[in-house]
Amino acid sequence: MTTPERNILSRMILAAAVATALAACSSAVTRESSPVSTPKYGATRVVQRGDTLYRIATENGIAMRDLAAWNGLGAPYTIYPGQQLVLYPKSGGAVASRPPAPASGGTRAPTASAPVASAPSAAPLASGIAWRWPVDGALLSRFVAGEPTKQGIDIAGTAGAPVKAAGDGTVVYSGSGLVGYGELVIIKHNEQWLSAYGHNKSRLVEEGARVKAGQQIAELGRTGASRDMLHFEVRYNGKPVDPLLYLPKK
């Protein structure tokens, strides 16, 4: 065989190998990108420290966008320790993430994005909690339903000012591991209700501590923020609600 013939044959073998590898990769990507959820009807999962929505979904054979939709969670899919997630569609409806049928020409039809959490009702839900303001200060920013950066309210204050528990409960998180919240404390008031206190200068309570309404839990600061303030959230079954619907009128 001449040198030109050997070069042509080598190129043909290389092209065939590349084509085979690309086909295998394409098949793998298709399988990875189109998971089919297996709902666990009646089952729930309590979020633990270090959990992410993706990790919980993967461990339970559920697509993350399905798990988010079933729990009314929108981007950036923030979950908290102590939060309870359902592992099935509450309505009993169809699973959203079944692989779509290929469109004409061999291309795949676009998939629907996960729905953004719907706006809460204007009427507050009965919580059974005697809510208190966590700090004294001017309101800087209000809650906006469906807006990831405004899932609570921001309250102005002076660095070092006491941050107090808005209600009786148990500290389920005390740390700085959630991006954007700085030094954060989360209190679980009962099975449905949580409150979160972010951007603190320092935290004064540990996880597992029982606290009373009005008890100091932190010092106001600006960790993860551009100014001294408290970021305060109230969540019902993991979904943010407007804290101003529950706090006493000023």
Query: Is the CB of residue 110 less than 8 Å from the CB of residue 83?
Result: no
Res 119 pLDDT > 60: no
Q: Quick one: DSSP state of residue 243?
A: G
Q: Across all residues in the chain, what is the average pLDDT?
A: 79
Per-residue pLDDT band at 38 (split at 50, 70, 90): confident
For residue 7, give the DSSP letter: H
Instruction: Return the pLDDT at 19.
Output: 45
CA-wise closest residue to 113 among 64, 65, 53: 65
Place of tokens 């309505």: 91
Tens digits of per-residue pLDDT, 151-180? 999 999 999 999 999 999 999 999 998 888
- The C-alpha angle with vertex 150 and arms to 62 and 81, in degrees rounded to 5, equals 45
Structural domains present in the chain: 35-93 (3.10.350.10), 139-245 (2.70.70.10)
105 φψ region: left (φ > 0), alpha (ψ -120 to 50), beta (else) = left
pLDDT value of residue 117: 41
Per-residue pLDDT averaged across 203-225, rounded? 97
How many Å apart are CA 75 and CA 168, to the nearest integer?
Answer: 29
Quick one: pLDDT band at residue 139, thresholds 50, 70, 90?
very high
pLDDT digits (tens, 9 = 90+) for 178-202: 888 999 999 999 999 999 999 999 9
Closest residue by Cα to residue 78 from 4, 179, 224 = 179
Strand partners, 163: 218
- Categorize the per-residue pLDDT at 58 as very low, low, confident or very high, splitting at 50, 70 and 90: confident
Of 91 and 188, the structure prediction assigns the larger pLDDT to 188
pLDDT at 84: 86
| Residue 35 pLDDT > 70 | no
